[in-house]
Amino acid sequence: MNKEIAGIVLTSANDKFFSIGFDIPELIELSENDFREFYLSFNQLCIDLYTFPKPLIAAITGHAVAGGCILTLCCDYRFIAEGKKLMGLNEIKLGVPLPYPADRILRQIVDDRAARRILDTGDFFPPEETLVMGLVDEVIPLERVVKKAVEKVKSIQEYSLDAFKLIKRNRIEKVEAEIRSSLTAKEDIFVEMWYTDETRRKLKDALEKFSK
């Protein structure tokens, strides 16, 4: 690990979209083996982000939904721009569960009532509601979001990055162990569901709505 790097700010240059997640038009055409390879890589990315030993801060400048929202969950702190920005996890509306690593991480961040509201409805929520649910740490004017994230990294660095690393390890080690112990079986279930007739229909319906 490069000692000159104090931490990472995960953001987007686009103030409309942080990330809307999976490229459905691309993924819906993949063979089952190719999709499985992609899906396993995505889950490994989430684990790598979640276990990154230095501060990882999400500066959410635009909509962060589905896979985009998942990426923010893997961060230590989430700062979202105020205004018409939405966050949410709509996997249930596509006929699949939330990927297992993201499910375990979400339930560490928010309480059970909030998790059920987020996952069982598949709705997207404005900044003020995400703050109330505990999904984000702060709602900030757009022009200050990235600056706030950088300031957070610097403040942790000024205290002690070594201490932060140990504190973070204590916080995440149980969830990481749960994820790794069940991941293969959960991935098999997700891939199987991705190719059911119901899910394929829902995915195609979503593509039609998106293209209008």
Instruction: Tell me the percentage of the chain whose pLDDT exceeds 70.
Output: 98
Determine, yes or no, domain membership for 3.
Answer: no
Q: CATH number for the domain including 141?
A: 3.90.226.10
The reported pLDDT for the residue numbered 206 is 84
- Region 167-188 average pLDDT: 96
The reported pLDDT for the residue numbered 31 is 95
Least confident of 108-112, 154-158, 178-182, 206-210: 206-210
Amino acid at 44: Q
The reported pLDDT for the residue numbered 211 is 63
The reported pLDDT for the residue numbered 14 is 86
Determine, yes or no, domain membership for 2.
Answer: no
* Of residues 76 and 5, more confidently modeled: 76
The reported pLDDT for the residue numbered 8 is 97
| Parent domain of 45 | 8-211
Q: Is the pLDDT of residue 1 over 90?
A: no
Determine, yes or no, domain membership for 104.
Answer: yes
The reported pLDDT for the residue numbered 3 is 75
CA–CA separation, 73 and 62 (whole Å): 15
The reported pLDDT for the residue numbered 117 is 98
The reported pLDDT for the residue numbered 207 is 83
Determine, yes or no, domain membership for 1.
Answer: no
- Region 111-138 average pLDDT: 98
Instruction: Tell me the percentage of the chain whose pLDDT exceeds 90.
Output: 90
CA–CA separation, 202 and 180 (whole Å): 29
CA–CA separation, 97 and 123 (whole Å): 14
126-133 contact pairs (CB < 8 A, 24+): 126/84, 126/85, 126/86, 127/80, 127/81, 127/82, 127/83, 127/85, 127/87, 130/80, 130/87, 131/80
Q: Is the pLDDT of residue 152 over 80?
A: yes
The reported pLDDT for the residue numbered 15 is 87
Count Cα atoms within 13 angstroms, Cβ side, for 137. 16
Number of independent structural domains in the chain: 1
- Model pLDDT for residues 13-72, shown as the tens digit of each residue: 988 999 989 999 999 999 999 999 999 999 999 999 999 999 999 999 999 999 999 999
Q: Is the pLDDT of residue 148 over 70?
A: yes
Model confidence at 212, pLDDT cuts 50, 70, 90, reads: low
